[in-house]
A and B are shown apart, each in its own frame.
Chain A
Amino acid sequence: MSADALTPILLTIITAATPLVFAALGELVVEKAGVLNLGIEGLMLIGAIAGFATTSATGSLLLGFIAAVFAGMLLSMLFGVIVLQLRANQVATGLALTLFGTGVAALVGQGFVGFPIDALAPFAIPVLSKLPLVGAILFNHDPVVYLSIVMTFAVWWFLYKTRAGLVVRAIGESHDSAHALGYNVIAIRYAAIAFGGGMGGLAGAYLSLAYSPMWAENMTAGRGWIALALVVFATWKPQRVLAGAYLFGGVTILQLWAQAQAVNVASQLLSMLPYLATIAVLVVISRDKTAMLMHTPAALGKTFQPAR
């Protein structure tokens, strides 16, 4: 295959990976703060419909993305109140968030099925996009793709190079110690959950405004859960989230490409690939139990009860 034929494939891999990057980065920060939010699928769906509805009403893609971020944050606060203030089980509350988000998105989205909008257009970076080979692949995307890469570095920088990031990580390792040192565990966890919610909303909006510009019920098709697996796969490291997301984007596009080439395998069987790849990757990464124990935030999923 020539480089010219490969370029569109590589381009679509990056677009397919972008929602996963946002969702997984958001969840990574939440988990680094010691909270397990299983509701990303619901957050993404809410973001997808909020973005789509806003854009079709106003005609502005920017407003759509902003609305999606706010909708995700708002919904994640519901999760925050229940797990932080009312100390409910995080696994069950996360599931409730997914069920509720899916339901609300479907209800709001009823009037928007089959509604046309203009998708986010690519923005060629001057000069760089004219580079041979890499130019077309790396520097000819929509602005949100660039944002996903900027966010990856921003999250890495925040977690590992700033004092605030250190506090977040400390809370995720031992909320009791952090509390004893005088940090407000609950407030910081609220902030982390809100960030995760906003990123989940953004991820959903990218699906409905750029990747496949339309609204369909359950259009995330499990991407929120794949993002959760990505965080484990990345051993809670932002830079690896990016690599993992591109790997999954690759699998997704590979199976779509194979379907388009009329490979003699039923399309349903090819569509299983991303889910099976997720399981395979989870198994490979979880096999080393000592390493997993080292990487997993020690307070992940545990309820914080301040001692008096």
Chain B
Amino acid sequence: MGPRLERRTTPSKRMSWGSPLLAVGLTLASCIVLFLLLGLNPVTALYVFFVQPISNVYGATELLVKATPLVLCALGLAIGFRANVWNIGAEGQLLFGAIFGGGAALAFYEQDFVGLLPLVALAGALGGALWAAIPAWLKTHFGANEILVSLMLTYVAGLALSYLVHGPWKDPEGFNFPESRLFHDAALLPILIEDTRLHAGAAVALVAVVACWLLLARFMVGFQIKVIGLAPGAARYAGYSESGVIWFCLLLSGGLAGLAGAFEAVGPVGQLVPNISPGYGFTAIIVAFLGRLHPAGILLAGCLMALTYLGAETAQIELNMPSAVTGVFQGMLLFYLLAADVLISYRIVWRTATGETS
């Protein structure tokens, strides 16, 4: 009679890591179909998309440059998702981090002192955390849905950045382009490998991965986050503060996203522009799920998703493939992943017509 789902007695550990691999495999298979539909040779297209971009040192470092904001945003989001705090406005928090970090860099223009870069980073984290504090406050005080509030604030943040670079922060010598002036050298992140764009922010992202792993595995607040997500009743009984965890998750994820935004501004971009992020904050949602909401997984998933950005750039140049393909890949991957996740809690049983399982 066809397949039927049967609940496993315990969730399968093997499938929880097997499902992302399955999803990636299915996405690649769908890519081949999509390439054929676009009239491209699938072998060449796959090579150009996934191999060519990282076939040299510069490409490999570019991968890390793109993975840095994705990993930073996804780390915070994942911790929130574990506690059922659905911050989906990381994009807005990233933009606000860029505004604050970039603002600090502009405020101390042509000044050079030891604390300048830490100040810029701190300002960025503060900006992101402030932007995330709004949904936290509205959620804990008024019960307003954090999904909708954080998302609406993303549009507001985009408009705020656009206003600043069109108005007060516009480069006076910039031929009227909507851009801030280029940051002074002292305010730019140091480059790790010469002749590449790999900046110190990538190292900070690695530290954040370890810190978040420690937080979840070794600290009381990490334990509370996991309990609130898995067994809200037990968490209430144990007296864990739900609003405390909401505040913690939103401030942490906002701060990390803000840091990512500041790093983008004083890293690869070097100034404030209206479209400073190609949607890193939204892609980070996929990174978080693909990485199983686990810091180590997020690191790998971040690199994979960074490759879709790079691949799209190469494919646009080499094959004239529309850049919108990235969005299709990313959405498809999340769909496949969520679908494949059913195998963690269920197994597929084939039932014969007589009702017996075989």
Contact residues of A with B, CB < 8 Å? 38, 42, 78, 81-82, 86-89, 91-93, 95-97, 99-104, 106-107, 109-110, 217, 221-222, 225-226, 228-229, 232, 266, 268-269, 271-272, 275-276, 278-279, 282-283, 286-287, 289, 292, 305
Contact = CB atoms under 8 A, between A and B. Distances in A.
A92 B152 contact: no
A91 B147 contact: yes
Contacts of A104: 327-328, 331
Chain A binding surface SS class = helix
A81 B336 CA distance: 12
Most buried by B among A38, A100, A228, A278: A100
Given A107-B325, A275-B155, A88 B332 contact: no
B342 A99 contact: no
Given A95-B88, A96-B334, A96-B338, A103 B327 contact: yes
A103 B324 contact: yes
Interface stretch (B109-117, B158-166, B296-304): B158-166
Contacts of B155: 221-222, 272, 275
B148 A282 contact: yes
A281 to B, nearest CB: 10
A269 B331 CA distance: 31
Interface of B: 5, 7, 86, 88, 138, 142-145, 147-149, 151-153, 155-156, 159-160, 162-163, 166-167, 282, 285-286, 289, 322, 324-332, 334-335, 338-339, 341-342, 345-346
B289 A225 contact: no
Given A95-B285, A106-B327, A225-B152, A286 B145 contact: yes
Given A82-B339, A89-B338, A275-B152, A286 B143 contact: yes
Contacts of B282: 99
Contacts of A86: 338-339, 341-342
Chain B binding surface SS class = helix
Contacts of B334: 92, 95-96, 99-100
Contacts of B326: 103
Contact of B152 (A87, A88, A217, A278): A278
B289 A100 contact: no
Given A99-B282, A100-B328, A272-B159, 13 more contacts: A93-B338, A95-B285, A99-B330, A99-B331, A104-B327, A106-B327, A229-B145, A268-B160, A268-B166, A272-B156, A276-B156, A278-B152, A283-B142
A268 B339 contact: no
A264 to B, nearest CB: 12
B151 A225 contact: yes
Contacts of A268: 159-160, 162-163, 166
A287 B163 CA distance: 32
Given A107-B327, A268-B166, A99 B286 contact: yes
Closest 3 CB pairs of A and B: A103-B327, A100-B331, A106-B324
21 contacts: A81-B339, A86-B342, A87-B345, A88-B339, A95-B88, A96-B335, A99-B282, A101-B331, A102-B327, A225-B151, A228-B148, A229-B152, A268-B166, A272-B155, A275-B156, A279-B144, A279-B152, A282-B138, A283-B144, A286-B142, A287-B142
